[in-house]
Amino acid sequence: MFFGFVISTIFACSQQKTPDSSSLQTLTHDGVDREFGLFFPSNYDASEAIPLVVNIHGGCMDAASQMAAMNMRDLAEEHNFALVYPQGLPEEGSEDCLIWNSGPYATESNKTTADDLGFFESLITDMTASYAIDSERIYATGFSNGGFMTYALACYQSNTFAAVAPVAGMMTPEALDSNSPNPCVTERPMPIIHFHGSSDSAVAAELGDEAVDFWVARNNTTQSNTNSVEDGPYTIEHSSYTDGDNGSAVEYYKIIGGYHETFDGMDYEGQNSLSLIWDFFSQYDINGMR
């Protein structure tokens, strides 16, 4: 699926490896070979630890299509960070619609029983053991179902990820319900930057609103500001909630008239969604505001 590349296998070891961006890599988790793609900047030096961005594809997409849809490679080259593109498994009843199980247990909406949270934990362990990755500067972003998974990482692996950026994503009802068996109870504040189109018919903008409201309360932000920018036929409403615990913030970009998309072509004061995401990530490490 990854541009026809041949799959190679990674075996966990303590030796630093030379990154291979030309093919999908694999690791075995829960008895299943799981795949992921890599991108490292050309000046990568194994003697210097660099940040890592986990870039997660949407439903019925794959690692290759996510690399194209949310193409952060130029940003990684410019700002010296690594990218990893994990790949999901087929949903039940399908051979090629790859999705994520964005909760500790499968739900009807997930249609998969894969241990994806465990896979991400194994993936991060492998990445930090194999390459010079700054373990205090690991971030996650994802589109659509990948945005669901991004929120799951924020909830259930908050001690691994320094900040997250869901795009057209939502939180599961189980995560939002404090009385469910698996509520979102994080061990630290989580800086969030979220993008959503008001006319999204796949993941309603109200579900993005709901997630943002959750994290504004969780992070205990005390300041808020809203700015609107015209972008062609669209209006970008930017709501900023700041001064949260550990310097955490929640930034919400709602594109009025926007649909189910990544917004890499938007223009908010000279920046698109991807550059805004990296600028936001770069402000934080696992301890909060840098």
Bridge partners (DSSP) listed for residue 163: 139
Whose CA is closest to 116, among 185, 188, 30, 176? 30
pLDDT of residue 1: 40
* Count of the separate structural domains present in the chain: 1
Phi/psi for 270 (5° steps) reads 90, 5
Residue 112 lies in a domain: yes
Residue in the block written with tokens 């550990």 = 246
121 inside domain: yes
What residue numbers bound the domain in which 281 lies? Answer: 8-289
In a domain, 263, yes or no: yes
Give the pLDDT score at 154: 98
Q: Which of 208, 219, 213, 218 is nearest to 254 (CA)?
A: 208
CA–CA distance, 86 with 2 (Å, rounded to integer): 11
- What is the structure's pLDDT at 104? 65
Residue 2 belongs to some domain of the structure: no
Domain-embedded: residue 149: yes
Q: What pLDDT score does 110 carry?
A: 55
CATH, residue 155: 3.40.50.1820
The CA distance from 80 to 7, in Å, is 26
The pLDDT of residue 94: 86
Q: Report pTM.
A: 0.92
Torsion of the alpha carbons at 193, 260, 148 and 24, rounded to the nearest 10 = -100
Give a yes or no: residue 139 inside a domain.
Answer: yes
Whole-number pLDDT of residue 9: 36
Q: Which two tokens stand for residue 266?
A: 């938007």
Task: Of 246, 65, 57, give the one whose Cα is nearest residue 146.
Answer: 57
Q: How far is CA 58 from CA 122, 126, 146, 149, 260, in A?
A: 20, 23, 5, 9, 11
Distances in Å between the alpha carbon of 141 and those of 13, 18, 195, 197, 227?
27, 24, 11, 17, 23
Q: Is 1 part of a structural domain of the chain? A: no
Looking at the domain assignment, is residue 28 inside a domain?
Answer: yes
Give CA–CA dist 98/104, Å, rounded: 18
Give the separation between CA 110 and CA 107, rounded to whole angstroms.
5
pLDDT of residue 109: 53
Q: Is 157 helix (H, G, I), strand (E, B) or coil?
A: coil
- The mean pLDDT values, 10 residues at a time, for the chain of 290 residues are 38 62 91 97 96 98 97 98 98 90 63 90 98 98 98 97 99 92 93 99 98 98 96 97 98 98 98 99 98
